Amino acid sequence: MKIDVLVAEIGSTTTVVNAFNNINGDCPDFIGQGQAPTTVFEGGDVRDGLSVAIDDLAKNLNVSSIEYQDMFATSSAAGGLKMTVHGLVYDMTAKAAKEAALGAGAIIHKVTAGKLRRTDLKEVKEIKPNIILIAGGVDYGERDTALYNAELIAGLNLNIPVIYAGNIENQEEIKLIFEDTNYELYIVDNVYPKIDLLNIEPTREVIQNAFEKHIINAPGMKYIKEMVNENITPTPGAVMEASKMLSKYIGDLMTIDVGGATTDIHSVTDGSEAIGRISINPEPKAKRSVEGDLGVYVNMKNIVEIIGKEELQKDLNLDIEEIMSNYLPIPKTENQIKFVERLAREAVIKATLRHAGKIRNIYGSSGKTKIAEGKDLTEVKYLIGTGGALTRLPKRIEIMEYMTYFNISKELLFPKENTKILVDNDYIMASLGVLSKKYEEASLKLMLKSLGINFNLESSI
């Protein structure tokens, strides 16, 4: 069977392949899905999982074989895109660099501010990052810290890409520092060019390009380009791309992905003008946060501890110890589903608390003044659920709705109660994020269909 486009989502444990037809027509179709363990055979590589997932797709479509015109991929295999980020002041350049890396789909293993210490360098070597990002200093401001850090990083001889996104006055010296090393250097516009201004999109784009170019160096990934003839994107970065694409047409939104290991929040909104006037730090329009302790399978015990076993027992009227001792990645029984739904609700609330900003009162000589800190989500029009939990659990809508009326004090910059809840019913948001790089209109139509909403594209495209 001839397929227009295949998109493979290659995870550390599972590979999923989504098939799309009529990609250039008025009504593109999502026609089926196949899946397999990422490494099927002992000592094998990702080609095994990808091949078996395609065979599974053929079986599901009742055909003997699959041929495709284009194939894209998203990947979090081999631990995903590991990065370390090094800036000048944490609340300024280091934070801006971190936002750029997270938005590109990276997993941030270390962030430093100021001059690197020996212990920092030791830890960077142990992390074995895929990419290192160096920032520091507004344009025409402080120069020495970024240069000092670049010299030390160059001396590590890690043979990986390095991105410099700091004070533009340092660019020529940075080139000289890395000139005779085994690093591949990328020079990008400053992520924090002046006070209260973020410029993170150029760095995000370079991070994704560097990831795609160097993915063959990651363990188990060296053969992926033999089967994929289009873009390869970090899976979380693909979800961000889909969120940004969708927001251009339907407005401000927030995407929530509750997984087995992490809970990711992607928000695309400028916030309200009123909050902007009292905000003390700039925030990116498109922001991603990753909560590595809030997973409903791998990190289930963390969420149970946050809620408290006694509280869970009281809420659910279940034997929590018995549920935990027979816990499965995909819940099967009614009691297991009730348990996972409660964990997912807690993960959504805690992740949103960490992602969102809040209003604080400060007191000075002129009396009480209100200030806003962090990301303003009050103008979000749509909450979108993706990932296994929020696309498959029976109470997925209620889980997300709970977050909109959690803000009783009104001091949290949360989405409002009238925010519309949407679900990625086909569970294809990551696939459409990478697909949008070549087929944006088709990706948008497929996304709207998966979300179950009607939208007049003719007036918007």
Answer whether residue 320 is part of any domain. yes
Report how far residue 283's alpha carbon sits from residue 376's, in angstroms, rounded to the nearest whole number.
8
CA-closest candidate to residue 278, choices 195, 374, 354:
374
Report how far residue 69's alpha carbon sits from residue 150's, in angstroms, rounded to the nearest whole number.
43
Give the per-residue pLDDT at 409: 76
Final residue of a domain: which of 200, 230, 260? 230
Q: Do 282 and 330 lie in a common domain?
A: yes
Q: Do 392 and 324 lie in a common domain?
A: yes
Final residue of a domain: which of 199, 230, 261? 230
Is the distance from CB of 139 to CB of 190 less than 8 angstroms? yes
Final residue of a domain: which of 217, 243, 272? 217
Give the per-residue pLDDT at 81: 80
Q: Do 54 and 104 lie in a common domain?
A: no
Answer whether residue 10 is part of any domain. yes
Six-digit token pair at 337?
A: 């589903």
Domain extent for 56: 2-78+219-230
Answer whether residue 132 is part of any domain. yes
**pLDDT in 10s for each residue of the chain, 461 residues:** 999 999 998 876 678 899 999 999 999 999 999 988 877 555 667 788 888 999 999 999 999 999 999 999 988 765 668 899 999 999 888 889 888 888 777 888 999 999 999 999 999 999 999 899 999 999 999 999 999 999 999 999 999 999 999 999 999 999 999 999 999 999 999 999 998 888 998 998 898 888 777 765 555 666 777 778 887 888 888 999 999 999 999 999 999 999 888 899 999 999 999 999 999 888 999 999 888 888 888 888 999 999 999 899 989 998 888 889 888 777 889 999 999 999 999 999 999 999 999 999 888 777 888 999 999 999 999 999 998 899 999 999 999 999 998 887 789 999 999 999 999 999 999 999 999 989 999 999 999 999 998 766 554 44
Is the distance from CB of 200 to CB of 96 less than 8 angstroms? yes
Q: Do 247 and 225 lie in a common domain?
A: no
Give the per-residue pLDDT at 38: 76
Q: Do 146 and 244 lie in a common domain?
A: no
Q: Do 226 and 296 lie in a common domain?
A: no
Answer whether residue 248 is part of any domain. yes
Q: Do 98 and 202 lie in a common domain?
A: yes
The model carries a pTM of: 0.84
Q: Do 144 and 174 lie in a common domain?
A: yes
Answer whether residue 175 is part of any domain. yes
Residue with tokens 């961000």: 240
Report how far residue 263's alpha carbon sits from residue 248's, in angstroms, rounded to the nearest whole number.
24
The domain tally of the chain equals 3
Coil, helix or strand at residue 39 = coil
Answer whether residue 448 is part of any domain. no
Q: Do 155 and 266 lie in a common domain?
A: no
Identify the CATH number of the domain in which residue 136 sits.
3.40.50.360
Answer whether residue 439 is part of any domain. no
Q: Do 167 and 39 lie in a common domain?
A: no
Give the per-residue pLDDT at 218: 53
Identify the CATH number of the domain in which residue 14 sits.
3.30.420.40
Answer whether residue 453 is part of any domain. no
Identify the CATH number of the domain in which residue 262 sits.
3.30.420
Q: Do 92 and 35 lie in a common domain?
A: no
Q: Do 260 and 379 lie in a common domain?
A: yes
Exposure of 193 in the CB half-sphere (CA atoms within 13 A): 11
Give the per-residue pLDDT at 293: 85
Residue with tokens 């749509």: 382
